[in-house]
Structure 1
Amino acid sequence: MRWLRYGEHGALVECGSLAEAGALRAVLADAHHPDVVELVPGARTVLLAVRPGSAALGELRELAESADLDHPPAGEPSEIEIDVHYDGEDLELVARTAGIGVDEVVELHTGAEYTVAFTGFAPGFGYLTGLPEPLRQSRLDSPRTRVPAGSVAVAGEFAGIYPRSSPGGWRLLGHTDTVLFDPKADRPALLTPGDRVRFRKAS
């Protein structure tokens, strides 16, 4: 890990892998330090901001450097099930690329348990790890100018759901009616880092 100053009251921690970044986030979150203002994980980084005048940065760095990141704390993740209509424009493309049938794509997608590694791109968009190997496919060569809200998609090692209509190049498996982001809700984003997610085929 590489700790870099990020302004007067923050640090950006560069990690060697997605797994290390996730483990570091779990360790820092589990500390429940009262002076932590913000904890933002990324694919290979964790941003930590603390209250002005606090000694939290040094304390949390010592904690992180002594922690067993191979066995991070599990915390208390939310368990979320999302119903999906498997009617995506790229469903057959994903099946063909994987060398399997469409039904097998659905079985693989619904049979896995996913973890929200980090969020970004758009409010409410979670990058989900745990995607079965045959479904780990490249982004489209030509991104779409408009992907409908609720689109369930895959790209690289991640699965995700577009919370609102936007451009995008992920491969679309289907769509969900689940609301991913509601700014008026007590918890605006349905998905937060560490949450567990399962997809279920809508009837």
Structure 2
Amino acid sequence: MIRDVRPAGTRALLVTFDSLADVVAFHGGLDRAALTGVTEVVSGARTLLVRFDPGCTDTGRLRTRLDDVVPVAASGHTDGDPVVVPVTYDGEDLDAVAATTGMTTDELVAWHTGQVWTSAFCGFAPGFSYLTGTAPSLDLPRRDTSRTAVPSGSVALAGEFSAVYPRTSPCGWQLIGRTSVPMWSLDRDPPALAPAGTRLRFVAAARA
């Protein structure tokens, strides 16, 4: 599970894993463990940065406590209901993705809506969450040519991930739909709808 742990300054540990699945599972276990002194956990594709209050713990004690964390598989993240995101499945690449995967468009929509997604980590833009699902990945390639801009709320697939674009952005992912749910809003606390560890479920809205 854990491949390496090393100090990151005087107030954090950088924990390295072999896979993204290990990161997500360990993050879930860390949330449940609620270790004394931990103030923030920042996810990456293969790492967790665990920040702590040196008045409550130190690198040695925290490193020892990490050994007691029990990872939680994606299907075991059952604390609270998933955030529901309604999607209109009329994306420009929907038909092409269905053809690539050997599905009908209805089957592709059923695949996307028929699983729980977990925010593995955030990046690229504020509110952009890299979502991993509980169903087998389609491992889709990115587009050969990126679009210079896609609208806020565009729902997309690439590799093992799904995502919702929080604002108008360049995009090389495959577009399958759109949602009106804001992924980033300064009127919320936290502003991101899906910080790392958040569970989501997409539901199909009426198609255009």
With normalisation by structure 1, the TM-score equals 0.89
- Show the 5 A alignment for 1:1-203: 1-69=3-71, 74=77, 76-130=79-133, 132-133=135-136, 135-203=138-206
2:109 and 2:28 mapped to 1: Cα distance?
30
| Deviating more after overlay: 77-86 vs 94-103 | 77-86
Q: Which moved more, 1:13-22 or 1:127-136?
A: 127-136
Aligned-partner Cα distance in 1 for 2:70–2:34: 17
- For 2:90, give the aligned amino acid: D
Distance 1:58 1:134 in 2: 38
Q: CA RMSD in A?
A: 2.2
**Number of residues paired by the alignment?**
203
Q: Specify the code of the residue in structure 2 equivalent to 1:107.
A: A
Which one-letter code corresponds to 1:188 in the other structure? Answer: P
* Structure 2: distance between partners of 1:75 and 1:131: 13
Q: Is the 8 A contact 2:28 2:72 kept in 1?
A: no
Q: Which runs of 5+ in 1 are unaligned?
A: none
TM-score (norm 2): 0.87
Shift of 1:173: 0.2
Given that 1:41 and 1:118 are in contact with CA atoms closer than 8 Å, whether structure 2 keeps it comes out as: yes
Q: Partners of 2:32 and 2:137 in 1: how far apart? A: 33
In 2, the alpha carbon distance for the partners of 1:71 and 1:133 equals 14
Give the % identical residues: 42
Which digits, 9 at most, give the CA deviation of each residue in 1:93-143, with x for residues without a partner? 101111121121111111122122222221111111116447330111222
Q: Which runs of 5+ in 2 are unaligned?
A: none
Query: What is the distance in 1 between the residues matched to 2:136 and 2:82?
Result: 23
For residue 124 of structure 1, what is the amino acid of its counterpart? Answer: G
